[in-house]
């Protein structure tokens, strides 16, 4: 019986096909009802990063998942403003959903002990880690034993590269959904 909800947070500037493909893998392997994409207002791990306006990042997520009923979004962190702490988001979502699975990349597992309230996070959600074949498994903290590793494909697409390609007038076909590409061009995102 499916009743588990996956939580996939990030900057998503922009959301790209790599995010969607790996989310699909996790959805299937963990037998999740759906995955909720949550764009952060300010990542606690990237406080110096200047992101696009929240309205643009949220709109690109909406466009990317529009026809996919097993993907959803939440604007909770954008509305909260300030630094987006996962614990606060999970506390909020736990009022609506009984079984949460926090989906993070392997790079985040390596530093999970540095996150805000990591033990409390694990009281609210199962920790699911996307592991690529290129990730070298090395237990750096006590959270490795509490994490469920899910093998996902290695997809070399990065939001940083997409922004750079747009800035340099290079094509972004096949990197983002067509609707997201159209939105980026129509709104002149990443041009300056």
Residue 171 CA to residue 188 CA, distance in Å, equals 14
Examine residue 181 and state whether it is found in any structural domain, yes or no. Answer: no
Examine residue 180 and state whether it is found in any structural domain, yes or no. Answer: no
DSSP, res 137? P
Percent of all residues in the chain with a pLDDT value above 90, rounded to a whole number: 81
Whether this model's pTM surpasses 0.95: no
Mean pLDDT of 176-181: 98
For 55-95, what is each residue's pLDDT tens digit?
999 999 999 999 999 999 999 999 987 888 999 999 999 99
pLDDT attached to residue 135: 75
Say if residue 47's pLDDT is above 90: no
| Structural domain span for residue 87 | 4-156
Say if residue 2's pLDDT is above 60: no
Examine residue 168 and state whether it is found in any structural domain, yes or no. Answer: no
State both tokens at 36.
């909720």
Write down the H helix ranges in the chain: 17-29, 54-65, 76-80, 86-93, 106-110, 118-124, 159-167, 178-187
Split into its structural domains, the chain has a count of: 1
Examine residue 189 and state whether it is found in any structural domain, yes or no. Answer: no
- Residue 50 binned pLDDT confidence (cut-offs 50, 70, 90): low
pLDDT attached to residue 51: 75
Examine residue 137 and state whether it is found in any structural domain, yes or no. Answer: yes
CATH number at residue 57: 3.40.50.620
Q: Which residues, other chains included, contact 107 with Cβ-Cβ below 8 Å and sequence gap of 6+?
A: none
pLDDT attached to residue 120: 98
Examine residue 166 and state whether it is found in any structural domain, yes or no. Answer: no
Say if residue 48's pLDDT is above 80: no
DSSP string of 75-124? -HHHHH-SB--HHHHHHHHTTT-SEEEEEEEHHHHHTGGGSSSHHHHHHH
Look at residues 71, 147, 82, 74 and name the one whose alpha carbon lies nearest to residue 108. 147
For 109-155, what is each residue's pLDDT tens digit?
999 999 999 999 999 999 999 998 777 777 778 999 999 999 999 89
For 147-171, what is each residue's pLDDT tens digit?
999 999 989 999 999 999 999 999 9
Lowest mean pLDDT among 17-26, 115-124, 130-139, 181-190: 130-139
Examine residue 167 and state whether it is found in any structural domain, yes or no. Answer: no
Lowest mean pLDDT among 2-16, 25-39, 157-171: 2-16
Examine residue 111 and state whether it is found in any structural domain, yes or no. Answer: yes
pLDDT attached to residue 49: 62
Write down the mean pLDDT value for the chain.
Answer: 93
């Amino acid at each position: 019986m499916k009743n588990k909800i996956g939580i996939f947070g990030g900057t998503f500037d922009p959301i790209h096909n790599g995010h969607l493909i790996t989310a699909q893998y996790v959805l299937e392997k963990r037998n999740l009802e759906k995955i909720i994409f949550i764009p952060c207002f300010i990542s606690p791990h990237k406080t110096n990063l200047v992101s696009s306006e929240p309205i643009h990042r949220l709109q690109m997520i909406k466009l990317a998942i529009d026809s996919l009923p097993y993907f959803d979004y939440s604007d909770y962190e954008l509305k909260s403003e300030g630094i987006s702490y996962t614990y606060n988001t999970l506390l909020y979502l736990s009022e609506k959903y009984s079984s949460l699975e926090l989906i993070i990349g392997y790079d985040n597992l390596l530093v999970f002990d540095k996150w805000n309230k990591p033990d409390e996070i694990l009281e609210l959600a199962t920790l699911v880690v996307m592991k690529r074949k290129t990730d070298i498994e090395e237990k750096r903290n006590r959270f490795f034993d509490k994490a469920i590793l899910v093998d996902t494909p290695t997809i070399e697409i990065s939001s940083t590269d997409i922004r750079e390609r747009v800035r340099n007038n290079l094509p972004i076909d096949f990197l983002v959904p067509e609707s997201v590409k159209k939105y980026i061009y129509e709104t002149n995102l990443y041009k300056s």
